[in-house]
């Protein structure tokens, strides 16, 4: 199979959310987390075959897909799950919202590391609910949640701990001892744990391995809701096939009851794509990871050589977290947009001095963005 991740697909005049944000502006979009890579060939082929049938009625989860997920969790992550633990969803964000509504009353609170992917905060504040933040510290060139510092902030209203591994933003892939600290914290305070692990297949740092929170031990398993999807792995985000894996039958029952009537069924084409990706996408995934590692090396070297910027190399995901707080500008996001580079603004994550870069794109485009950044930053020094 010949795979070319330098292949240019012009999305500028399509329905792409990523590219439409700066429509008719000379701004390179490096923000929302989808990539500019074509999906695995077998995914495209099987979608074309399904569309050719011409009938698009209601569908159900293909048994093959369930089997693929069960075997994938065992083979890749040494996590033995049961088919009945899987709850299929039309997107991971709705899973965050259901997890909050199922486990947190309106007078209770959620906990989460900060900064964090914005839908975490939005979900935690649904219907007037509140959340408390766990500070994130830098430790040995990695950003990790500081659970010891969070202990003094608790008031007993906390019911749900919302985690993100690999961490978005920041790209940290949590180690076993760090996950065990999270689990011990949750156990001490009797918290349900909702763990967003959507980037679990995108591990860039050699020698690291994703460890599902729920796989740690029986206590972690029974208090966990794990959110997963093939969407980031295989660039299927617009199709919407995600899942919650919930071992505890009581937690799963509450999750399903809360979903009823407000969470739609998964799109039939999403099921086709997910099945094909999980069955036949490994060669494509391996090639994508090699390409992303090259992109990571490029931006880590170039950004850290720019005046006023600092970025720790992300261990996982295709998202970099750039500290721009030393720049003599009021709004780093706006500064870079005016320079022709569209990042995600850090304010939405709870860190206004930062921006997030999506480096899941063609390397030539990334080089162009780096050049624009350098030009703008050197102009500041004049």
* Per-residue pLDDT reduced to its tens digit, 29-42: 999 999 999 999 99
How many Cβ atoms are within 10 Å of 136's Cβ, its own excluded? 21
pLDDT at 1: 66
**What's the pLDDT at 221?**
98
In the chain, ranges of CATH 3.90.1150.10 domains: 17-40+282-381
Reported as a pLDDT band with limits 50, 70 and 90, residue 2 is confident
Angstrom distance (rounded) from CA 11 to CA 194: 34
Asked if residue 125 has pLDDT above 90, the reply is: yes
**pLDDT value at residue 334:** 98
Mean pLDDT for 118-144 is 96
Q: How far, in Å, are 20, 24, 26, 358, 376 from residue 340 at the CA level? A: 14, 12, 6, 15, 9
Which residues make up the CATH 3.40.640.10 domain(s) of the chain?
Answer: 49-280
Sequence-separated (6 or more) residues with CB below 8 Å from residue 156? none
Q: Which residue, chain included where needed, has tokens 């202990």?
A: 151
pLDDT digits (tens, 9 = 90+) for 38-76: 999 999 999 999 999 999 999 999 999 999 999 999 999
pLDDT recorded at residue 382:
74
Is residue 342 a contact partner of residue 28, using CB atoms and an 8 Å limit? Answer: yes
Predicted TM-score (pTM) of the model is: 0.97
* pLDDT above 70: residue 298: yes
The residues, any chain, with a CB within 8 Å of residue 313's CB and separated by 6 or more, are 141, 171, 205, 296, 300
Beta strands in the chain (DSSP E): 28-29, 86-89, 109-114, 130-138, 143-145, 158-164, 192-196, 224-228, 242-245, 310-311, 319-323, 341-342, 344-345, 354-358
Instruction: Give domain 17-40+282-381's CATH number out of 3.30.565.10, 3.30.210.10, 3.90.1150.10, 3.40.50.620.
Output: 3.90.1150.10
The per-residue pLDDT for 145 is 97
**CATH code of the domain occupying 49-280:** 3.40.640.10
Torsion angle, alpha carbons of 272, 48, 291, 359, to 10? -80
- Mean of the pLDDT values across residues 132-158? 95
Return the percent helix, strand and coil in the chain, to nearest 5: 45, 15, 40
Percent of the chain with pLDDT over 90: 97
Instruction: Please state, rounded to an integer, the average pLDDT across all residues of the chain.
Output: 97
């Amino acid at each position: 199979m010949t795979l070319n991740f330098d292949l240019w697909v012009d999305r500028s005049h399509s329905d792409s959310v990523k590219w439409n944000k700066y429509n008719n502006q000379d701004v390179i979009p490096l923000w929302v987390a989808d990539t500019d890579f074509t999906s695995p060939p077998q995914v495209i082929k099987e979608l074309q075959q399904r569309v050719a049938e011409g009938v698009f009625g209601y569908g159900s989860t293909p048994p093959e897909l369930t089997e693929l997920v069960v075997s994938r969790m065992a083979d890749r992550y040494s996590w033995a799950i049961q088919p009945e633990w899987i709850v299929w969803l039309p997107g991971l964000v709705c899973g965050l919202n259901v997890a909050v509504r199922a486990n947190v009353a309106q007078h209770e609170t959620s906990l989460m590391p900060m900064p964090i992917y914005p839908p975490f905060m939005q979900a935690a504040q649904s219907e007037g609910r509140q959340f408390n933040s766990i500070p994130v510290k830098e430790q040995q060139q990695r950003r990790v949640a500081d659970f010891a510092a969070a202990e003094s902030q608790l008031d007993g209203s906390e019911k749900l701990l919302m985690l993100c591994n690999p961490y978005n933003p920041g790209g940290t892939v949590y180690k076993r001892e760090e996950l065990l600290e999270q689990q011990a914290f949750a156990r001490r305070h009797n918290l349900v744990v909702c763990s967003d692990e959507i980037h679990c297949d995108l591990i860039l740092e050699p020698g690291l391995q994703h460890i599902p929170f729920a796989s740690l031990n029986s206590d972690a398993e029974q208090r966990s809701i794990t959110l997963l999807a093939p969407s980031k792995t295989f660039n299927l985000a617009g199709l919407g096939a995600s899942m919650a894996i919930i071992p505890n039958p009581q937690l799963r029952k509450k999750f399903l009851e809360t979903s009823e009537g407000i969470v739609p069924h998964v799109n039939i084409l999403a099921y086709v794509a997910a099945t094909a990706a999980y069955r036949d996408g490994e060669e494509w995934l391996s090639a994508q990871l090699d390409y992303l590692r090259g992109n990571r090396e490029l931006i880590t070297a170039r950004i850290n050589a720019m005046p006023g910027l600092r970025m720790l190399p992300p261990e996982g995901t295709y998202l970099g977290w750039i500290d721009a707080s030393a720049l003599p500008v009021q709004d780093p996001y706006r500064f870079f947009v005016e320079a022709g580079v569209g990042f995600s603004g850090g304010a939405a994550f709870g860190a206004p001095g930062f921006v997030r870069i999506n480096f899941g794109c063609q390397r030539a485009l990334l080089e162009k963005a780096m050049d624009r950044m350098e030009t703008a930053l050197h102009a500041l020094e004049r």
